[in-house]
Amino acid sequence: MAGPALWKYALAKVETGVFVYRRKTFRQYGGIYCFIISINAWVVCKVPNHNCNISKPLPIHHKYIQSGDLRIASIISQLYVFSSPVTFIQHPSLELLDDFAVLFQSYQHILALDFAIKEINENPQILPNVTMGFSIYNSYFSPSWTYLASMELLFAQNRLIPNFKCGVQNNPAAVIGGPDICLHMATILDIYKIPQLIYGSAPLMHKAAQAVFIQQMFPDESHQHRGLLQLLLYFRWTWIGVLAVNDAKGETFVQEVLPVFSLHGICFDFIAEFPNVDFYSDFTDVMDEIYKTFYIIVKSTAKVIILYGAMESMTFLKTFVQYSEVEDISMKTKVWIMTAEMDFTSISLQRDWDINFLQGALSFAVHSREVPGFREFLLIRNPTIAEHDVFLRHFWAQAFRCLFHHSDPNNQYGTICTRKEKMATLPASVFELSMTGQSYNVYNAVYAVVHALEAMRSSKIKHNTIVGRSVQKLQNQPLWQLHSFLRRVSFNNSAGENISFDKDGELIGGFDINNWVTFPNQSFLRIQVGRIDPMVSPDKSFNIYEDSIMWPKSFNQASPFSLCNELCEAGYSKVKKEGEPFCCYDCLPCPEGKISKEKDLDDCSPCPEDYYPNPERNICIPKRFMFLSYEEPMGISLTVLSLSFSLMTTLVITIFIKHKDTPIIKANNKNLTYILLVSLLLSFLCVFLFIGKPDKIVCLLRQPAFGIIFSVAVSCVLAKTFVVVLAFMATKPGSRLRKWVGGRMVSFILLSCSLVQASFCSVWLIMSPPYPDFDVHSLSEEVIMECSEGSVTMFYCVLSFLGFLAVVSFSAAFLARKLPDSFNEAKFITFSMLVFCSVWLCFVPTYLSTRGKYMLAVEIFSMISSSAGLLVCIFFPKCFIIVMRPELNNKHHLMKRKI
């Protein structure tokens, strides 16, 4: 039936006062006005200037009312209606009541309200002489029924005449509603300024328009968001998936909260939306979306998935798991993190669905404590002692799968309810005996209203504005004034918790972190394993007890990793992959000199100067101190070599002294020879300044002693060369050089050369003397203990002057090599200086290319080699004649043979 026929039916039924049916257009027909009052386009029609003498409309069928002097109302979705399309064969309201499914968990919310009212009425300290009652209406998870319930609780005798006051009104002091229907009931209740308390996380609303009379029994969500971030960072879950409900809050979470996560190093494998599946929605319309989301999660490598949803979102999660069972894909390798906006919800149709996917899940919940006496109140609850509880009958039948009588049209079970069934036997997936966070909020909401009423009553008495009995004082007051007292209320509940609200009407409190442990009989436990307490200092606000967490079995009770790739081992650092999120990276070994002690570090850190990395580059090892010691083979070898040549030099000196009066000794300038031999002996002994641990005195003496001793030795060789040359030239007739032959020339050369070198050394020691030093950079694994040269310039000046003397001596000897044999010592000097110069020419590049003790070894070897070259080349032929061929050591043979 469509078009005008529908409107004719509406006009025919208008005498009932208010009539509700589905239509998406707005009309005015004659004197009857119809206006849209719900998001589903439910229409209310009324007659202008209508009197109140009309018949009653069809009321809400499922409600639980307890009379009292004052009452608190509640609109809760506990029964889900399976409705058929409206045919207008009978009243549309009747056509919506075809069959029912029970949302098991919501029944505890009803009992929490009942229990709180019972406690208040039994406590003479709270509102004495005033009896509190309640009215609980079922909204059927429907905005339309929520509107109807909101009007019904406002009007007396069920005459729903908007904008009219017919009969005696008994408006409730406040209305407690669920988060799923809070905005719908606020549309009506805000008009009458009725305080409303929402026991879950309310949708986003305009505070100046929609939330004027709303109090939230839910803390500031920013605390939960920070706690969620801290939880991810604590377990180092940097690669996660996010499923957010497709509504305004889900969009805000994705656009405003997740970017903050990214700033702290969290990456997202996927950010997907899941449909906002309300119980009154057509579920078949969203199956394609669920199917797409299913495959996004299946393909995801993230082990942790955040589910940001609403109270009904558990239905989506269960449907999702049903998909995985059909596809034979295990969802037990994921850790679900659920926000406090969600709660465990299931209708009777889902009772036997598997909940093992929740094993090891983590969920946030409004901080709560067990209320004394509530568990006992639940255990004795049954249809016999609570006959007026309409909701209990439906809950009992579907929870225990029984009939109250054989002709009960709402049950399909064969067994009869004995009314002696025990709630304690029900699995937690059907009914939890411990108070849930949502029920705790309902309980505190009732007490908040009562304490606000007490504060308002005390305020009126104090100002003497009203007199009479307490009941009349409160009943006769405009209860919209209660709202200001609610904002300021603060009290301690029976669990010892302080309950108060902030300036925005949100509960001041924190969140618990719960771990889900499931059992084969579809029961479960929520174990508190953490806490977010915004009332303490920020560094102590987040607490987690990791050892108490039961993880999914697939992780073998180890904390799962949720990373884009495996952690970089110690000794490696992360390198970003091009084109991938920043949480995806490669691992490269630490460069030379750096380590990483921990896994998954962004960069390697350098070792201290006196440490070096181990081969794995994960720890720093103290460097060994390196110097040329007497204990090592190289030091022993050089020491033995130096001592051997020292003994040889001593032997040569002994031979020369013993045969000092022989012609061969006299012919070679005896004094100059002794000086040369002593300088050679000292040069061999000078080696010991270069071996051993360097100290201040050794460093001061080492290079200057080497420079002066070798300068004296080379000066002696130079003097010997000049003596030979001058001796030959002086034998020519009329030569003027005879006066230079003798000790004067030798002394001049020896003293002048030695003084020049000594001057260089003196300036060096005065301006920038050598000193002990540690070279920590040249070698990777050793600290070189060395003598710093102080002034490198002066060192090379000393070395250069020594080279200059050697070149001059070699040149002079080379020019004199063809002199007659009688005077020819120049050939031996030429060969010895050739060896000397060759050694020191090789020394310079070798010295500059080595470090540490090897540099010293090169210098020592050069000293020994060059000195040995002078000793062997100049003195070995003479010693051979003196010792082995003494017959040649006479003046006659000396004049005729080559020396």
> Of 27, 125, 139, which Cα lies nearest the Cα of 79?
139
CATH topology match: 221-302+309-366+508-555 vs 633-730+737-771+780-896: no
Q: 466: pLDDT confidence band, cut at 50, 70 and 90?
A: very low
Cα–Cα distance, 250 to 228 (Å, whole number): 15
Cα–Cα distance, 326 to 565 (Å, whole number): 30
Q: 849: pLDDT confidence band, cut at 50, 70 and 90?
A: confident
b/e map 101-123, b = 16+ CB within 10 Å: bbbbbbbbbbbbbbbbbebbbee
Q: CB–CB of 499/448 below 8 Å?
A: yes
313-344 per-position pLDDT tens digit: 777 677 666 665 555 455 667 899 999 888 77
**In the predicted structure, residue 876 carries a pLDDT above the cut 90:** no
Return the bridge partners of 267, or none: 239
**In the predicted structure, residue 458 carries a pLDDT above the cut 90:** no
Name residue, tokens 């339309």: 144
Higher pLDDT, 267 or 140: 267
Cα–Cα distance, 634 to 864 (Å, whole number): 14
* Other Cβ atoms closer than 10 A to 543: 14
**In the predicted structure, residue 783 carries a pLDDT above the cut 50:** yes
Query: Which residues neighbour 425 within 8 Å (Cβ) at sequence distance 6 or greater?
Result: none
Name residue, tokens 């090897």: 854
Span 719-728, mean pLDDT? Answer: 72
Query: Which residues neighbour 606 within 8 Å (Cβ) at sequence distance 6 or greater?
Result: 593, 594
724-742 per-position pLDDT tens digit: 766 666 555 555 555 555 5
Q: 894: pLDDT confidence band, cut at 50, 70 and 90?
A: low
- Please report, rounded to a whole number, the percentage of residues in the chain having pLDDT higher than 70: 77
Query: Which residues neighbour 785 within 8 Å (Cβ) at sequence distance 6 or greater?
Result: 625, 626, 627, 693, 694, 772, 773, 774
Alpha helices in 463-583 (DSSP H): 470-475, 482-488
Cα–Cα distance, 516 to 481 (Å, whole number): 43
Domain ranges of the chain: 1-55, 63-219+369-387+438-453+479-501, 221-302+309-366+508-555, 572-622, 633-730+737-771+780-896
812-821 per-position pLDDT tens digit: 777 776 666 4
Q: Cα angle at 12 between 6 and 16, to 5 degrees?
A: 115
275-318 per-position pLDDT tens digit: 776 655 555 566 677 778 878 888 888 999 999 988 777 776 77
Cα–Cα distance, 781 to 869 (Å, whole number): 37
Torsion of CA 432, 434, 437, 438, to 10 degrees: 50
Fold of 633-730+737-771+780-896: Rhopdopsin 7-helix transmembrane proteins (1.20.1070)
The helix (run of H) or strand (run of E) holding residue 21 is strand 19-22
Cα–Cα distance, 899 to 894 (Å, whole number): 7
**In the predicted structure, residue 478 carries a pLDDT above the cut 50:** yes
Q: 721: pLDDT confidence band, cut at 50, 70 and 90?
A: confident
Specify the range with the lowest mean pLDDT, choosing from 435-439, 522-526, 580-584, 728-732: 728-732
pLDDT number for residue 782: 85
Provide the token pair at 653: 């000196």
Q: 395 by DSSP, 3-state: which?
A: helix
* Other Cβ atoms closer than 10 A to 677: 24
Q: Give the orientation angle of helix 792-815 with respect to helix 696-730, to 10 degrees.
A: 20
Cα–Cα distance, 775 to 786 (Å, whole number): 7
Long-range contacts of 845-853 (CB under 8 A, 24+ apart): 851/775, 851/778, 851/779, 851/784, 852/626, 852/627, 852/775, 852/778, 852/779, 852/782, 852/784, 852/786, 853/626, 853/627, 853/628, 853/634, 853/784
Span 428-446, mean pLDDT? Answer: 91
Provide the token pair at 475: 């009943």
**In the predicted structure, residue 119 carries a pLDDT above the cut 70:** yes
Cα–Cα distance, 109 to 199 (Å, whole number): 9
**In the predicted structure, residue 54 carries a pLDDT above the cut 70:** no
Q: Give Cα separations from 255 to 176, 271, 369, 419 (angstroms).
A: 31, 11, 33, 51
pLDDT number for residue 795: 86
> How high does pLDDT run on average in the chain?
79
Helices (H) and strands (E) in the chain, counts: 25, 31
Q: 643: pLDDT confidence band, cut at 50, 70 and 90?
A: very high
DSSP 477: S
- Please report, rounded to a whole number, the percentage of residues in the chain having pLDDT higher than 90: 23
Fold of 221-302+309-366+508-555: Rossmann fold (3.40.50)
Q: 335 by DSSP, 3-state: which?
A: strand
5-17 per-position pLDDT tens digit: 333 333 333 333 3
pLDDT number for residue 114: 95
DSSP 692: S
pLDDT number for residue 740: 55
pLDDT number for residue 305: 92
Q: CB–CB of 264/229 below 8 Å?
A: yes
203-240 per-position pLDDT tens digit: 766 565 556 788 888 898 899 999 999 999 999 899 99
Q: CB–CB of 277/312 below 8 Å?
A: yes
Query: Which residues neighbour 829 within 8 Å (Cβ) at sequence distance 6 or greater?
Result: 717, 720, 721, 724, 809, 813, 873, 874
Burial of 654 (0-12, 13-18, 19+ CB in 10 A): exposed
Cα 108 from chain centroid? 39
Determine the CATH number of domain 63-219+369-387+438-453+479-501: 3.40.50.2300
Identify the top-confidence range among 112-116, 417-421, 431-435.
112-116
Cα–Cα distance, 623 to 642 (Å, whole number): 30
Provide the token pair at 570: 């110690």
The helix (run of H) or strand (run of E) holding residue 513 is strand 511-518
**In the predicted structure, residue 583 carries a pLDDT above the cut 90:** no
- pTM (2 d.p.): 0.68
Higher pLDDT, 9 or 191: 191
Neighbouring C-alpha atoms within 13 Å toward the C-beta of 586: 8
**In the predicted structure, residue 242 carries a pLDDT above the cut 90:** yes
521-543 per-position pLDDT tens digit: 888 889 999 999 998 888 889 99
Provide the token pair at 491: 């009290």
Cα–Cα distance, 172 to 549 (Å, whole number): 44
Span 174-190, mean pLDDT? Answer: 85
Q: CB–CB of 333/426 below 8 Å?
A: no
Higher pLDDT, 494 or 103: 494
> Of 53, 66, 60, which Cα lies nearest the Cα of 97?
60
Q: CB–CB of 809/832 below 8 Å?
A: no
597-627 per-position pLDDT tens digit: 988 888 999 988 889 899 999 999 998 888 8
Cα–Cα distance, 687 to 243 (Å, whole number): 79
Q: Give the orientation angle of helix 106-122 with respect to helix 437-462, to 10 degrees.
A: 30
DSSP 55: P
Higher pLDDT, 803 or 472: 803
Q: 191: pLDDT confidence band, cut at 50, 70 and 90?
A: confident
Identify the top-confidence range among 39-53, 84-98, 200-214.
200-214
> Of 284, 269, 281, which Cα lies nearest the Cα of 313?
281
* Rg from Cα positions in the chain: 52
Q: Give Cα separations from 297 to 286, 356, 451 (angstroms).
A: 17, 18, 48
> Of 246, 236, 305, 238, which Cα lies nearest the Cα of 270?
305
Q: CB–CB of 406/397 below 8 Å?
A: no
Q: Cα angle at 48 between 42 and 49, to 5 degrees?
A: 140
Higher pLDDT, 328 or 274: 274
Q: 387: pLDDT confidence band, cut at 50, 70 and 90?
A: confident
Query: Which residues neighbour 774 within 8 Å (Cβ) at sequence distance 6 or greater?
Result: 610, 783, 784, 785, 786
> Of 448, 439, 441, 525, which Cα lies nearest the Cα of 111?
439
